[in-house]
Structure formats: structure tokens, C-alpha cells
């Protein structure tokens, strides 16, 4: 789904041969800081700018930020699978509360 020069974001670096942008490791502390920064913080801003990632993988790391990321993702991405969103200027990606958790049961 990603060309060699494309970027992605998942918060943990699941796709080693591709560049993660923004380079943001979503551990528990960074999730708290991102929530405190709010809508004008680094992550929501990075998901809306010209350099936003081409692909976003939602996981248990991004689930904690779903309310904060809903707006930026809805404006610039389309949902390809329950966990993968692709950059699309038409937008339309909605958070699906019924989607299965990625790695369900492993990290809980």
C-alpha cells in the first residue's frame, strides 16, 4: 500500500522499511502529553499539513487519542480497512467504535 517514498504513522514503528512521520512514539507518557496539547498539538497538526503521512495505522496506541484525532483524520483520510487509513483530500474517515482492536487480547 506504500510506495518506497511514502510515509506512514502508527505511533510505534510497525513498518520498518518505511519512514514514520511524525516520528512520535506513543508510549503512555507521550499519549498524556499529546492529549494535554490538544487540537493544536504536534500530532493533530502533522496529520493535517501538506507533509501529512500517506497512511495511518490505527492501533491500541492511537485508540487512546481517538477523540483528538477524529477531526484531522476525517478531513484528510479515507478508511481502507478497519485499521488502515489512506491520505485522501476528500476525507470522510469516521471512527468506528465497533472495529476490532488490532492485536486484540495481546496487550491488554
Give the pLDDT of the chain (108 residues) as one tens digit per residue: 788 889 999 998 888 888 899 999 999 999 999 999 999 999 999 999 888 999 999 888 888 898 999 999 988 898 888 889 999 877 777 766 676 666 555 444
Is the pTM of the predicted complex or chain greater than 0.75?
yes
**Other CB atoms within 10 A of residue 25 CB:** 11
Cα of first residue to Cα of last residue in the chain, in angstroms, is 28
Q: How far is CA 35 from CA 7, 43, 107, in A?
A: 23, 10, 21
Amino acid at each position: 500500500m506504500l510506495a518506497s517514498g511514502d510515509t506512514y504513522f502508527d505511533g510505534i514503528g510497525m513498518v520498518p522499511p518505511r519512514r514514520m512521520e511524525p516520528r512520535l512514539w506513543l508510549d503512555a507518557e507521550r499519549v498524556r502529553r499529546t492529549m494535554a496539547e490538544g487540537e493544536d498539538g504536534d500530532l493533530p497538526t502533522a496529520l493535517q499539513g501538506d507533509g501529512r503521512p500517506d497512511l495511518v495505522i490505527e492501533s491500541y496506541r492511537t485508540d487512546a487519542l481517538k477523540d483528538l484525532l477524529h477531526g484531522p483524520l476525517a478531513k484528510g483520510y479515507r478508511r481502507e480497512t478497519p485499521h488502515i487509513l489512506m491520505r485522501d483530500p476528500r476525507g470522510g474517515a469516521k471512527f468506528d467504535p465497533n472495529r476490532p482492536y488490532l492485536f486484540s487480547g495481546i496487550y491488554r
